[in-house]
Amino acid sequence: MYRSVDSQTMHALAASVEDQEYLRSQLKLLSLVAFIGNGAVLPRVSGVSNMPLETNTVVRFRAPPELQVMVELPNQGTVVGMGIRQGVTLICGGGFNGKSTLLQAIERGVYNHAPGDGRELVVTDATATKIKAEEGRFVCSTDIRPFINNLPLGKTTDAFSTADASGSTSMAASIQEAVEVEASTLLFDEDTCATNFLVRDGRMQQLVSQDCEPITPLVSRVRELWEAKGVSSIMVIGGCGDYLDVADTVVSMHGYVPSDATEKAKAIAQCMPVLSSLAPPTISDAGAATHERTDEPEVFPELDLTALDQLVSVSQTRAIASMLQLATQNTRRRTMRSLVSDMCTTALGDLPAGHGVAGNLARPRGIEVALAINRLRYAQIQP
């Protein structure tokens, strides 16, 4: 096999992967959740392609001086780029100026990139998880009290279940599920979030009193997620100015070029205060969910994973399906973390679809496996 592959190409790939793994291992030590290297090509040819956009007009990434970080890599040596710090980071700017493109590069930074991809120096915390609204998704026995409480007719939310979640409810459940399996960074794009989950402005707070509104918006929780749970957030925000009050860092994108707008944002927030909502109940530790085998047949009902943006290959989806099949054969009552850990340490060739070879399977992250389990409509999950 070695003779059939160009040795220089193979060594370049190995060196690049080694550098990316090393850089990812240094993020926490540097108090960062992501790093975007200078010169990176972030835009893709199209929304369905992983190929870099290669034109004479493409704008390569360049870190603003205030956010520059220097890292010494094993092979490439010293590299410079933008470090996204732990805490709450906003990516702001006008439409079509590169906000979502930057976030998409960050969300794919949980994986290593081959030389020539353009994102070889875009590296993200390995547990970073994209959160978005999923109307109609299945939710089972999830404690969403930090975000949704006091439902009509006395319905409780400490073990909330529904076969048809709203956008806001689905986001609340997804955050709780991600935190349960130890995601330490959450990613949000305003375009794919439920507006009523992101914020409730002053006028609506005056029209609909706090005791009549079951939703505690994310803007009231995002700092607590960081300060109480150590969970950072990176958010693309274009219209919800209330988040300026809770941000640690604000990156402004203009013409695909980032700048540090943190001090300007703080000044605006101080000059234009927003109407604060009543202090919501604190985020508590949810009990570990358990997954219990049912007597359903091994043929699964349709499982919609289209909202899991960080599944990047059908081979990963195929592996998840096979892991779920294996779980139904061997699992009674397990905590979610224990179940996912066992599933992700099983050799791909030992999965039912692997047939000892696993040439058509690719290993997913444990977080995507957990999120898939939580979307299984027949699974019996208990708080």
Which residue in the block uniquely carries the two structure tokens 């130890």?
182
Q: Give the integer Cα–Cα distance in Å for 350 and 356.
A: 6
What pLDDT, on a 0 to 100 scale, did the predictor assign at position 287? 43
Q: Is the pLDDT of residue 277 over 60?
A: no
Q: Decide which of 46 and 296 is more confident.
A: 46
What pLDDT, on a 0 to 100 scale, did the predictor assign at position 36? 99
Amino acid at position 220, single letter: S
Locate 256 and state its tokens. 């695909």
What pLDDT, on a 0 to 100 scale, did the predictor assign at position 284? 52
Averaged pLDDT, 16-21? 98
What pLDDT, on a 0 to 100 scale, did the predictor assign at position 91? 99
Q: Decide which of 9 and 78 is more confident.
A: 78
Locate 212 and state its tokens. 């009549």
Q: What percent of the chain has pLDDT over 70?
A: 90
To the nearest 10 degrees (0 to 180), the angle between helices 314-330 and 336-345 is 120
Q: Give the integer Cα–Cα distance in Å for 266 and 258.
A: 17
Amino acid at position 278, single letter: L
Q: Is the pLDDT of residue 241 over 70?
A: yes
| Cβ pair 67, 83 in contact under 8 A | yes
What pLDDT, on a 0 to 100 scale, did the predictor assign at position 203? 83
**pLDDT tens column, 297-355:** 344 567 889 999 999 999 999 999 989 888 777 656 778 888 899 889 988 888 886 55
With H, G, I as helix, E, B as strand and everything else as coil, classify residue 254: strand
The continuous run of DSSP H or E covering 342 comes out as helix 336-345
Q: Give the integer Cα–Cα distance in Å for 316 and 366.
A: 11
Q: Give the integer Cα–Cα distance in Å for 214 and 175.
A: 17
Confidence at 16, pLDDT banded by 50, 70, 90: very high
Name which of 10-24, 218-232, 242-256, 265-279 the model is least confident about: 265-279
Locate 37 and state its tokens. 């290297």
Averaged pLDDT, 30-44? 98
Q: What's the number of CA atoms in the CB half-sphere (13 Å) around residue 191?
A: 11
Q: Decide which of 373 and 258 is more confident.
A: 258
* E runs forming strands in the chain: 32-37, 68-73, 77-85, 88-93, 122-124, 129-131, 139-142, 160-162, 185-189, 232-236, 249-254, 257-260, 290-292, 333-335, 380-382
What pLDDT, on a 0 to 100 scale, did the predictor assign at position 263? 98
Locate 220 and state its tokens. 């009231």
To the nearest 10 degrees (0 to 180), the angle between helices 366-373 and 314-330 is 60
| Cβ pair 48, 143 in contact under 8 A | no
Locate 63 and state its tokens. 């870190």
Q: Give the integer Cα–Cα distance in Å for 164 and 169.
A: 9
| Cβ pair 149, 157 in contact under 8 A | yes
Q: Give the integer Cα–Cα distance in Å for 107 and 127.
A: 10
Q: Decide which of 293 and 103 is more confident.
A: 103
To the nearest 10 degrees (0 to 180), the angle between helices 366-373 and 167-180 is 130
- The alpha carbon of 377 is separated from its chain's Cα centroid by a whole number of angstroms, namely 22
Supply the DSSP string of 169-224, one letter for each residue: HHHHHHHHHHHHTT--EEEEEGGGS-HHHH---HHHHHHS-GGG--B--GGGTHHH
Supply the DSSP string of 37-88, one letter for each residue: ETT----BSSTT--SBP--TT-------GGGEEEEEETTTEEEEEEEEESSE
Mean pLDDT of the chain: 89
The continuous run of DSSP H or E covering 265 comes out as helix 262-271
Q: Give the integer Cα–Cα distance in Å for 306 and 369.
A: 13
Q: Is the pLDDT of residue 295 over 60?
A: no
Q: Give the integer Cα–Cα distance in Å for 187 and 221.
A: 14
